[in-house]
Each structure stands twice: as structure tokens, then as C-alpha cells.
């Protein structure tokens, strides 16, 4: 129940197009995070097949693919969501907002922790790709379609391919 309340609060705060609380239940973000909570539970119990089955089902229904192994903080808001991919070893802080098409992925060169760590209050624009075991500092903003392959310090804005600090 606390998850539902948190999501209602998060979506109300973030989306100016929202007209009523009931609409929250239509949001792909809401559904995807609900499925993630279940898949993450099975993942921690090492029931990997059922965990993955649930996450693939969530992806078909919402367009948002969150690996059951990812670790996600409070108040994540994923707007629209189609094409979002969050990798197995990604870690997301609190109050993060991301748009459709965002990837927290790997570069294929690393083993173990091979996906990014995202700080608190980070905003990630639509289509941005953040790749590898890198860290995005608190309050950073990542521009639309940016490709980020290196650590990003706190409080900066990063845009372009490869991402450069504005």
C-alpha cells in the first residue's frame, strides 16, 4: 500500500498532464515498478527463471524493461517508458526521473558490476544511454539522446555524443 501511495505522490508531482488520481493506475511506470517489486523478490530468493519471466511480461505490457536484479531507490518516475532498459547491476538513488528510451546498460567489456549507479535527484532525458559501471552524481541532468560513458560529477548537465558537461 505504501508503494501505491508513494507512486501516486511521485506521479502527481512530476506530470503536469495528470488530471486525476485514478489515472495513476494507467501509467506504465506504475505497472512496471509493481512488476519489478515482485520480480526483485523472486530474484533475491534466487528464483531467477520466474523473476525473469515476470520482468519480460512487464516489458511486453509497459515497454519498460527492468532486470529483476536492479536496485531502485524511492520515488522513481519513468515517464512514458517505451524502450527503457535498466540492467541487472544498475543502482538507482532516490527521486530519480527518467523518460522513455533511457538505457542504463553495459558496454560488453565489463563483468560483475557492469551497469551504472545513478545518484539522487538525477533527471535523465528521453533516449539517453548511460553505459558501463559509471556513477552519475546527485542532482545531475542528462540531456535527451546523450551517450554517457564516463562518471558525471554532482550538479552538472551533460549533453551530446559522447556526453560533455555544459
β-bridge mates for residue 103, sequence order: 85, 129
Closest CA to 161 of 98, 71, 73, 149: 149
Question: Are 132 and 116 a contacting pair, CB within 8 Å?
Answer: yes
Q: Residue 157: which H helix or E strand, with range?
A: strand 157-159
Nearer to its own copies, 5 or 60 (CB): 60
Helix (H/G/I), strand (E/B), else coil: 60:
helix
Q: Does 165 bind its own copies (CB under 8 A)?
A: no
CB of 108 to its own copies, least distance (A): 7
Residues that bind its own copies (CB under 8 A): 16-17, 19-20, 22-23, 26, 28, 48-49, 52-53, 56, 59-63, 65, 67, 69, 80, 82-83, 85, 87-88, 99-101, 103, 105-106, 108, 111, 114, 123, 125-127, 129, 131, 143-147, 159-162
Amino acid at each position: 500500500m505504501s508503494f501505491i501511495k508513494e507512486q501516486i505522490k511521485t506521479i502527481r508531482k512530476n506530470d503536469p498532464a495528470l488530471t486525476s488520481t485514478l489515472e495513476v493506475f494507467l501509467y506504465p511506470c506504475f505497472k512496471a515498478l509493481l512488476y519489478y517489486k515482485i520480480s526483485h523478490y523472486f530474484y533475491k530468493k534466487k528464483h531467477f527463471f520466474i523473476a525473469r519471466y515476470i520482468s519480460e511480461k512487464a516489458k511486453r505490457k509497459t515497454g519498460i524493461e527492468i532486470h529483476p536484479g536492479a536496485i531502485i531507490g524511492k520515488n522513481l518516475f519513468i515517464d512514458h517508458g517505451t524502450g527503457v532498459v535498466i540492467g541487472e547491476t544498475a543502482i538507482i538513488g532516490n527521486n530519480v526521473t527518467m523518460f522513455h528510451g533511457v538505457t542504463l546498460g553495459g558496454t560488453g567489456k565489463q563483468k560483475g558490476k557492469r551497469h551504472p549507479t545513478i545518484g539522487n535527484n538525477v533527471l535523465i532525458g528521453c533516449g539517453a544511454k548511460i553505459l558501463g559501471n559509471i556513477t552519475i552524481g546527485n542532482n545531475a541532468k542528462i540531456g535527451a539522446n546523450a551517450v554517457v560513458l564516463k562518471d558525471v560529477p554532482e550538479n552538472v548537465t551533460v549533453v551530446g555524443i559522447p556526453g560533455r558537461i555544459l
